[in-house]
Structure 1
């Protein structure tokens, strides 16, 4: 696993800034995540993003640029309403594990399963080398005393 998560977050930050993010109210959290696919022995790296307020406008603006256009990747931007923030925030942006998912013909995937022991060991060694700030981006918010706090302009 020679992937550098900071580069993925920096690319997203640059793309959102070009979509006007600095001028929008609200906040967002982006976290690096991945699924392991034993078919091909690779990780599908992606970002989980939770946005609140008008920053979603910048995210929606990404739909028109590569690689977020339909057809470039299967589900480049999947929009969901967060109905229960107490459970959704940890689920979308603080998952403490990466699962195994097998890609099947026709684009279907199996349910999430535990990583095989050898890949779990690889992942644990890789994640231990990462800094928290390289795995997560907080825009318009911060963590204070273990709580997520929105910054006020």
Structure 2
């Protein structure tokens, strides 16, 4: 059961935090106003169904996912991605995304960030609640500068999150102000009520 962003522990259920970064999910500076997060999250839902079908498993369990982004001043683009939490069989389905072409690892000279794992799943008990739930909902987008190494792989500098400044900051704040929370969120196996999130 999920209520007020709290997942009641169960010995029979598996929980996992995840981050997914589909191919071609970066948006150029100045073009963020054209990006539609509703379509992006709907596409992610279809990817999950495709993952389940590929593995031959039923769409069971629960999932809550949120759109997030950063800004890369090197490429002058926003690498968009999804943070979330999966419960029960949905963990396996999220993990199965790595077998879809859309989530293949970066290759030399294709311009994608090799430091990023397209599908990152962190299993284990959830502690310090509700932080694991509220973290994916963060509204802060940080600066993430990249470079091209000698092998033609794009990698990120290892640095702490830095605030976005200038034109990019104005653009992404306007973007966040334009869309409602429910439009940048995906719920599966649960629904929102006045009392919180309830399992369906």
Instruction: Tell whether the structures are fold-level matches, with TM greater than 0.5.
Output: yes
Q: Deviations over 1:93-116 (max 9, x none)?
A: x01221112124541332211110
3-state DSSP of counterpart to 2:146? coil
The structure 1 segments of at least 4 consecutive aligned residues displaced by more than 6 Å after TM superposition are: none
Q: What TM-score does the superposition give when structure 2 sets the normalisation length?
A: 0.66
Return the alpha-carbon distance in structure 2 between the equivalents of residues 108 and 40 of structure 1: 11
The RMSD of aligned alpha carbons is 2.2
3-state DSSP of counterpart to 2:130? helix
CA-CA distance at 1:30 after TM superposition: 1.5
CA pair 14-148 structure 1, distance change in 2 beyond 3 A: same
Q: Deviations over 1:37-94 (max 9, x none)?
A: 11122111111121011111211221111121233653100111353241111112x0
Gaps of 5+ in 2: 1-31, 150-154
Counterpart of 1:59 in structure 2 is 94
Counterpart of 1:76 in structure 2 is 118
CA pair 88-126 structure 1, distance change in 2 beyond 3 A: same
Correspondence 1:15 to 2:47: yes
The number of equivalent residue pairs is 150
The structure having more radius of gyration, on CA atoms, is 2
- Of Structure 1 and Structure 2, the greater strand share is in 2
Match of 2:186 among 134, 137, 145: 137
